[in-house]
Structure 1
Amino acid sequence: MADKPARALVIYGDGLMPLVHTHIHKLASLGSCGFLALREAENEDARVLRELCQLFDMPYPKLSERFMGMRALLCTIGFPVANIDDLASELLKWLGFQDGKVTETSEYDLVFVHVLLNVLVGDILQIAQSAPQISSRLHLSLILSYGSISEESNDLAKLYPKQCYTMKEGDIRNHHPMLIAQWQDAITRRDRAQAFEFEEFQKNGGSLSILAERFIYEIAFKLWKAPKYGA
């Protein structure tokens, strides 16, 4: 159990699940891996917006009202940094992680990045793992989705056994969920998954599956901004 609240960095790649690389596999091998189940969408335009909205459980009240004044930032294309080499450091700085240390206060509690870069994941892991003060307080989540997909696209990407949430909420799709790996040194469980792949998570992941719209509640708990979801 952590003795201080974490600060969370979430990296979300829409439709980029097939494009995984070395650093992404490394994060999977370090962290706790599982799935975020999604609701069906009517078309591609609706899918893009709906999947992002599910991660924040919109359109409910803003995060600061739900989670004890949580300060959150959503980043998409167009970062205020000179080049990609500065991006990892800039993201961590917003969370109060700088020069291998943790500041008492930070500009944000949660930074959500709507992009995926293999180099970015590698840079963040390198910075965090070389600084124990940072790695024990940084809660890093990497989420990848399949994008536009149909149930017939790949029979291997189906969730089983049937989860209890499908009985209460009937519009949950049982195939091609978001894949998620989470890591916080000495805090998150380290499961047996060694690669960021559906079959590997299904066989060796430790986090099973939850609804995508409950993800933000789990993050808020890690930041000491909400009680444990389901408790």
Structure 2
Amino acid sequence: MGMRAAMVTNCPSINSFAASLGFHVFGTEDFAAQSGSDSSSSKDVRVISRALGLLGFSEGCVQDSSEFDLVFVHVATENTAGKLGKLGMRTDLNRLDKLVAAVMEAAPAGSPVAARVHVSVVLSYGSATGNKEEACLIVNSSTETDSDLKLLRPRQSYTMKAGNMLDDVRNHHPMLLAQWQEGVTRSDLAKQFSFEEFIKHAGNFAMLAERFLHEVAFKLWKAPKYGA
């Protein structure tokens, strides 16, 4: 779609995947070290500062040009179940929270940066080997009764591709996606980043994972709208 995109990661598999998609790949440690921010700042703040710099934002101002249109920062979850159990996962989530907080601090509401930035946060949800019913996108699927009224329910766009029904869509344990962009008129009522909250209050329900980049490109005015 013509976007200049970068990926910040220390994960070899993500590095290879991003490179195959045409992303410019940065190592996380080197990326933070090359930031122009105060060295006393945390690594997360330095990462976000440099990411915003590559997007054409510097010290609260919008530059005339930018090196990239899109920058992804990958936060890996280390396998610490044997040592710390859930504590290891919680630590990683705290880091993700700090990264998002650094973005919001650099783009306060009403600022020139906030008027031009789009933020997407994607988080994998649980294990696909867990209870599928509890993590199913089809609400109350176990109690749904047979009825002719079901025939009137429109098909969700994520279940179709090029006008044809897909038979390999996984309706359980989806990745969770939250997006923020100032001035967007259609916002939902979700207050927490959790599957249960999204099922009750999210606005966009679901889309195919392969459409994510296209959706972000649309938000950046780089691609036409997809789906309903």
TM bin, normalised by shorter chain, reads 0.5 to 0.7
More strand by share: 1
Change (3 A) 1:174 1:140: same
**Matching residue of 1:190:** 187
Distance 2:24 2:108 in 1: 24
Change (3 A) 1:202 1:89: same
The answer as to 2:41 corresponding to 1:91 is no
Of 125-134 and 73-82, more deviation after overlay is shown by: 73-82
Tell me if structure 2 keeps the 8 A contact 1:143–1:181. Answer: yes
Tell me if structure 2 keeps the 8 A contact 1:128–1:135. Answer: yes
Instruction: State the SS of the aligned residue for 2:122.
Output: strand
**Matching residue of 2:32:** 81
- Normalised TM-score (structure 1): 0.64
**Matching residue of 1:166:** 159
Instruction: State the SS of the aligned residue for 2:107.
Output: helix
How do 1:6-45 and structure 2 match up within 5 A? Answer: none
Tell me if structure 2 keeps the 8 A contact 1:9–1:141. Answer: no
Distance 2:24 2:181 in 1: 20
Tell me if structure 1 keeps the 8 A contact 2:121–2:178. Answer: yes
Change (3 A) 1:165 1:123: closer
Q: Which amino acid aligns with 1:166?
A: T
**Matching residue of 1:110:** 70
Q: Structure 1: any 5+ residue segments left out of the alignment?
A: 1-6, 15-47, 64-71
Give how far 1:187 is off: 2.4
Change (3 A) 1:199 1:11: farther
Give how far 1:114 is off: 1.5
For the aligned residue pairs, the C-alpha RMSD in angstroms reads 3.5
Q: Which amino acid aligns with 2:32?
A: V
Give how far 1:75 is off: 4.9
Q: Structure 2: any 5+ residue segments left out of the alignment?
A: 34-42, 76-94, 140-154
Change (3 A) 1:173 1:221: same
Give how far 1:113 is off: 1.5
**Equivalent residue for 2:60, pick from 100, 114, 119:** 100
Give how far 1:196 is off: 0.5
How do 1:212-223 and structure 2 match up within 5 A? Answer: 212-223=209-220
Give how far 1:95 is off: 0.5
The answer as to 2:141 corresponding to 1:156 is no
Deviation per CA, 1:109-164, whole angstroms, max 9, x where unpaired?
Answer: 011111162211111111111661111110000000026422x4353211025745
**Matching residue of 1:68:** none
What number of residue pairs does the alignment pair up? 176
